[in-house]
Copies of this chain bind each other. A is one copy, B any other.
Amino acid sequence: MLDAHGPPSLKSLAAALGLSAATVSRVLSGQAERYRISRATRDRILAQAASSGLVVNHLARSLRLQRTLSIGLVIPDISNPFFAMLAREVERSARRHGYSVLIADSEEDPAVEAQALALMQQRHVDGLILAPVGTPAAVASLSALGARPCVLIDRLLPELALPAITSDHRAGAALAVAHLIERGHTRIACVQGSPGTFANDERVAGWRGALSEARLPAGPELVVGGGYSIDAGRRAARALLQRAERPTAVVALGNLLALGVLQAVHEARLAVPADLSLIGFDDQPWASVVDPPLTLIEQPIEQLGREALALLLERIGGDAAPAARRTLPVRLIERASVRDLRSGDRPLPPARSPQGTP
C-alpha cells in the first residue's frame, strides 16, 4: 500500500524497493531463477507486489512483446442465440488459456465487418475467429488482416485457404428433408438465411440435393426468405402461406427463422404441424416448449467454439499446419412439428393435453 502516487506500476514498485524495474519484471514474470535473483530480493518483491495490488500494465507489455494475449471474435449477430452460445464458449475457452476476447458484431453487413476487421488489426489481437459475411467485398477486406492467424467458424470462404470449423450444414438440411420425405411429404419448401454465406448455401444445397435425389420438386420458387432474423422468417412464411399451392412442409435454415415461421403460422390462424410441418436448425432452450415442440437439426455449438479456439491457439503457437477444415456432424432431434402424412390424420407422438381442460 505505502504511498501510492499515481497508479501502481512495476516501475514505481521498483523505486519503492530501491531496485531496478528490470529486476522486478523478471521476478514477476517468473524468470527469477534464470536471472539468478536472490531469494531474499524475490520475496521482497513478491510481498510488495501483493500488498500494493500491483497489476502490470498490459498495454506496455503487449507493445514490447508484440502480442496481446487477446483474440478477436467477429460474428454477424450476438443476439442470435446460436452466436451468443458460440461467443460464450469461445470466451470461456479463451479465458482458460489466458486469452481475452474482443467481440465485434458485423450485423451481417460487409461494411461493418470490414470495420470490425480493421479494429481487430489496430488492436493487435493475436488471432481471429470469424464467421464471415462472405461476400467478395468481405473477402477483400480480410486480406487486410495480414499474416494474423485466422480461423473461420460456421461459415467458410472457399476462395481463401483458411482453416475452418463448420458443422455439416449440407448433411443437416438433407437429413431434415429425408425425415420429411419419409413421412410422406412431397412439397417441401425452404426458408433460407443470408444467400451468399457458406452455411446458408450449403444448407440450401443439401435441401435441393435430397429433394432431387427423390425426384421431388426443388425449384427456386420453393426457396424463400433472405436474412437470419425473425422478421425475415415471418415474412417468408407469410408469402409461402398465401400461395395457391401451399407446401406441406418447410425447412427453416436458422433458429430465428423457425421462430418467424411459427409466428406467421399462428398469425394466419393455422397450426403446425396440422397445416404445415416445420423443421428448424439449432437446438435452443425454447425449442422444446414452443407450440408445437420443434423438430430440428442440432449443431454441436460448444464443440464448434472449443475446436475453433484450439485450432486458433495452435496457429498462434506457430504450428502453421496446412489449413485444416473440420466438419462436425449434426443430428436430428425429433419432437412434434412434423406431421406424418402416410397414416391419415393421426396427431403426433408427444400429444400433450390441449389447453383449457383442467
Chain A contact residues, CB within 8 Å of chain B: 7, 53, 55-60, 62-63, 68, 70, 77-79, 81, 84-85, 87-88, 91-92, 95, 100-105, 107, 115, 118-119, 121-124, 144, 146, 230, 256, 259, 262-263, 266, 269-275, 284-286, 288-292, 345, 347-348, 351-358
Contact = CB atoms under 8 A, between A and B. Distances in A.
B100 A274 contact: no
A230 B285 contact: yes
A102 B102 contact: yes
Contacts of A353: 269-271, 274
B291 A292 contact: yes
B271 A285 contact: no
Contact of A290 (B270, B275, B289): B289
Contacts of A60: 63
A200 to B, nearest CB: 19
A292 B355 contact: yes
Given A347-B356, A354-B354, A259 B289 contact: yes
Nearest to A89: B79
Number of copies: 2
Contact of A291 (B53, B88, B284, B289): B289
A268 to B, nearest CB: 10
B119 A92 contact: no
A79 B68 contact: no
A11 to B, nearest CB: 13
A79 B79 contact: no
A119 B87 CA distance: 18
A163 B47 CA distance: 35
Given A286-B290, A291-B355, 5 more contacts: A58-B124, A59-B63, A79-B81, A103-B103, A347-B356
A81 to B, nearest CB: 7
Nearest to A262: B289
A130 B102 CA distance: 16
Contacts of A107: 92
A55 B118 contact: yes
Given A105-B88, A291-B290, A56 B122 contact: yes
Contacts of A358: 274-275, 345
B105 A123 contact: no
27 contacts: A53-B144, A56-B122, A57-B124, A78-B78, A78-B88, A78-B91, A81-B84, A84-B84, A87-B103, A88-B105, A91-B103, A92-B105, A95-B115, A100-B104, A102-B102, A103-B103, A230-B285, A262-B289, A263-B288, A266-B352, A271-B355, A272-B355, A275-B358, A284-B286, A289-B291, A290-B290, A290-B291
